[in-house]
Amino acid sequence: MMASPGGYDVAALRADQFPVTRRWAYLDNGTFGPPPRAAAEAVAACVREQSEGGRLPMPWAGQLEHVRGLAGRLLGCPAGDVAFVKGSAEGIGLVALGLDWHPGDEVVVYEREFPAGVLPWLNLAHRDVRVRFVRDRGRHRFDAADVEAVVGERTRAVCVGLVNFGNGFRAPVEALAEVCRRHGAWLLVDATQAAGVLRVDAAALGCHLLVAHGYKFLLSGYGTAPCYVHPDLRAALRVPEPGWKTVMGGGDDSITDWTRLDRADGARRFEPSIPAIASIVGMGASLELLLGLGPAAVERWATGLAASAADALRERGFAVASSDRPGERSSILSVDRPGTDLHRLEDRLREAGVVVAVREGRVRLSFHGYNDEGDIERLLGALP
């Protein structure tokens, strides 16, 4: 049996904040991370206040800035470097649509990346921007040398997922930052499968942009993704979607001189109008919970559960695709068993109250800080 994670009581957390655990051994946070009770109550209170109060004296403005600060704490960056976008594709799109591209420019991506990290670049084919792929070659991982072998004189950006959605590989982003510095390229990171369950420090990673959609490990539902944008990158970007909040003093309907509009300070310039208030309020409750638990404790517990499950599943005849190398592990575990119909297995597990997903032809288990050893025992007990 695993020791307690230290810093928080998992049983109390489950009972108080995660009603999903009353019914399910929920091991699919990589598809959707169920918001805690505090987030659900915060969203309901926000919408109820809007419904009952009508036009309020802008109480949401201060709350949005409070949540921006929480996001900055979780992502290891100043609040002013955080923009609220709708999803990871929109965050990546700030560069795809905002950079001054030239014919023959290149972007480097991992071939097994989530579509949000690939499609924005393929969409630039009409500008003769080329996508160069880091090939997987059946290893379910890559290293900095694999990326540097593809980077060339025309590389403008390298775009990777901090944790791969399919196999759980934690990319060597810190080493990639060195590659990008040597070649003068921007480093863009999709942390959707990491932020909230692994420690994420944008400054330590050395990236120029980092985005994480809230509906997975941030446990914040759909519609909001905090996006870190480094000041150097901000200075190089046009605002792809300008609106009344992208200028200084946004909301001043007396503006008449449209030739003298200064951009809003910080990353807020990429928010064209009022973001999804209720979604952000709910995210604030989830971020407060995660920060209160302690990112290091959450990471230690969730990755420990994934490692424990890997050992147990190997004994049941499963092959583990996820890397077990130090620094490459995450809370996502990808496994397969020859001769097993995995979709039928997924259905069987759900009937037994265990929620997993099948991704890239393997069973994917994705743990969070509220999961416990009982979830693993329930999984093992439901296997044929």
Q: Can you name the residues that pair with 82 across neighbouring β-strands?
A: 228
Query: What one-letter code names the amino acid at 317?
Result: G
SS in 3 state form for 81-105? HEEEECCHHHHHHHHHHHCCCCCCC
Report the C-alpha gap between 87 and 277 in whole angstroms. 15
The SS3 call for residue 363 is strand
pLDDT of residue 250: 53
Tokens at 188, concatenated: 């863009």
Q: Is 297 exposed, middle or buried (0-12, 13-18, 19+ CB in 10 A)?
A: middle
pLDDT of residue 205: 98
pLDDT of residue 1: 47
pLDDT of residue 51: 84
Cβ neighbours of residue 242 under 8 Å, at least 6 residues apart?
272
Q: Can you name the residues that pair with 131 across neighbouring β-strands?
A: 107
Structural domains in the chain plus CATH codes = 10-31+294-382 (3.90.1150.10), 44-291 (3.40.640.10)
pLDDT of residue 265: 82
pLDDT of residue 53: 77
pTM of model > 0.85: yes
Give the Cβ contact number of residue 323 at 10 Å: 19
SS in 3 state form for 269-297? HHCCCCCCHHHHHHHHHHHHHHHHHCHHH
Cβ neighbours of residue 28 under 8 Å, at least 6 residues apart?
355, 356, 357, 364, 365, 366
pLDDT of residue 57: 47
pLDDT of residue 63: 87
Report the C-alpha gap between 119 and 90 in whole angstroms. 11
The string of pLDDT tens digits covering residues 175-198 is: 999 999 999 999 999 999 999 999
Kindly give the parts of the chain with pLDDT less than 70: 1-6, 54-60, 248-262
DSSP code per residue over 4-25: P-SSS-HHHHHHHH-GGGGT-E
What's the chain's length in residues? 384
∠ CA 269-281-50, rounded to 5°:
100
Report the C-alpha gap between 95 and 333 in whole angstroms. 31
∠ CA 165-361-376, rounded to 5°:
70
pLDDT of residue 2: 56
Question: Rounded to a whole number, what is the distance in angstroms from the first to the last CA of the chain?
Answer: 23
